[in-house]
Copies of this chain bind each other. A is one copy, B any other.
């Protein structure tokens, strides 16, 4: 769970933010002015800071500068001002993102997630899905079974990749056909059978009794996690 520090002097807005963020799984700490914001940032070590400009004591830019003196925590600035002038200021000083009021809660949430993601330096995005003895490397577009590479055709790979990106989730026939063959093929279910069989022959220990690539008759296919 990520921790967010909300810095805002309007109690109503601060409360609304806190409630929404908590509902979405964030741990929330609040501060109502610039000085306590700096204190809270030092003691709580949040993963990201939401900073409303126009605080009673310090100018928002001072808060950013103060934080940047010792921390590289991502900062998302919140502002009522419409024009770009202080946007440039804030970004210059080291803010990471900028949202003008009124804003949509989802947008803020998305920007926070993005900010945290960017903030995590150690994120080379190791996109490898492991399923039993299968290793599916989404970045390199490779599959290995018990350590040895398996050669897949482009269509086989597209099929498998789609299932792997939805690991453990049922992917409907229509979705597979749309994604792999294109929107016009939405009803060509024959392809599914041919390619499911082909993947099983290459990837399953016992293709006749698949343990990974599971069929749900009339619905679609699932790449089973366990």
A140 to B141, CA, bound (A): 24
Q: Is A208 close to B, CB under 8 A? A: no
Decide: A170 near B153, CB < 8 A? Known: A94-B23, A104-B118: no
Decide: A16 near B107, CB < 8 A? Known: A140-B169, A169-B140, A170-B141: no
Q: Interface digits, A82-104 against B, CB 8 Å rule (1 contact, 0 not)?
A: 00100010011011111000101
Among B19, B104, B110, point to the contact of A121 (Cβ < 8 A): B110
Decide: A19 near B170, CB < 8 A? Known: A110-B121, A141-B219, A154-B218: no
**CB-defined A-B contacts under 8 Å, sample of 30:** A12-B84, A13-B88, A15-B88, A16-B88, A16-B91, A16-B92, A19-B92, A20-B91, A20-B92, A23-B94, A74-B106, A91-B105, A94-B105, A96-B107, A97-B102, A97-B104, A98-B102, A104-B114, A106-B115, A106-B122, A107-B118, A109-B122, A110-B118, A113-B123, A140-B168, A141-B219, A142-B169, A142-B170, A154-B217, A157-B219
Q: Which residues of A contact B (CB under 8 A)?
A: 12-13, 15-16, 19-20, 23, 74, 84, 88, 91-92, 94-98, 102, 104-107, 109-111, 113-115, 118-119, 121-123, 139-142, 151, 153-154, 157, 168-170, 172, 216-219
By Cβ-Cβ distance, the 5 closest A-B pairs, closest first, are: A154-B218, A141-B170, A140-B169, A97-B104, A96-B104
